[in-house]
Structure 1
Amino acid sequence: MILVWAKSLHIAALVVWAAGLLTLPILMSQREALGHGQELHRLHAFTRFAYVVVVSPAAFVAVGTGTALILLREVFTPWFAIKLLLVGLLVTIHVRLGLLVLSVFREEGHFRTWRVVLSTVAICSVLTGILWVVLAKPAVSLDWMPAAAFEPGGLSRVGEDVIRRLTP
Structure 2
Amino acid sequence: MIAMFKALHIAALSVWCAGLILLPVIIQTYRHAHASRNQAGFSEFRWLTHYSYQLVLTPAAVIAVIAGTVLIFAQEVLDTWLLVKLVAVSGMVLVHAWLGHVVVQAGERREAYRLPPAAFALVALLPLMGLVLWLVLAKPALDDLIALFPEFLREPRGNAIPARFDPL
Q: TM-score, normalised by structure 1?
A: 0.82
> Could you list the runs of 5+ residues in structure 1 that have no partner in the other structure?
158-168
Q: In structure 2, what is the equivalent of residue 7 of structure 1? A: 6
Cα offset, 1:116, TM superposition: 4.3
- Checking the alignment, whether the CA contact within 8 Å between 1:27 and 1:47 is kept in structure 2 is yes
What is the one-letter code of the residue matched to 1:150? E
TM-aligned CA deviation for residue 119 of structure 1: 2.1
**Structure 2 spans left out of the alignment, 5+ residues:** 161-168
CA contact (8 A) 2:99 2:118 kept: no
Whether contact under 8 Å (2:88, 2:128) holds in the other structure is yes
Runs of 4+ in structure 1 over 4 Å off? none
Quote the residue 2:65 is aligned against: 63
State the superposition RMSD in angstroms: 2.1
Task: Give the letter for the 2:23 counterpart.
Answer: L
Shift of 1:111: 6.3
CA distance in 2, matches of 1:39, 1:19: 23
Asked if 2 retains the 8 angstrom alpha-carbon contact of 1:28 and 1:111, the reply is no
Give, in angstroms, the shift of residue 100 of structure 1. Answer: 0.4
Using the size of structure 2 for normalisation, the TM-score is: 0.82
Q: Which residue of 1 aligns with 2:30?
A: 31
Matched pairs, number:
153
Which digits, 9 at most, give the CA deviation of each residue in 1:65-106, with x for residues without a partner? 000000011111111110000000000010000000011232
Selected match of 2:110 from 94, 107, 111 = 107
The letter of the residue matching 2:2 is L
Q: C-alpha distance in 2, partners of 1:36/1:155?
A: 64
**Cα shift at 1:134:** 1.2
Deviation at residue 147 of structure 1 after TM alignment: 6.1
Identical residues among aligned pairs (%): 33
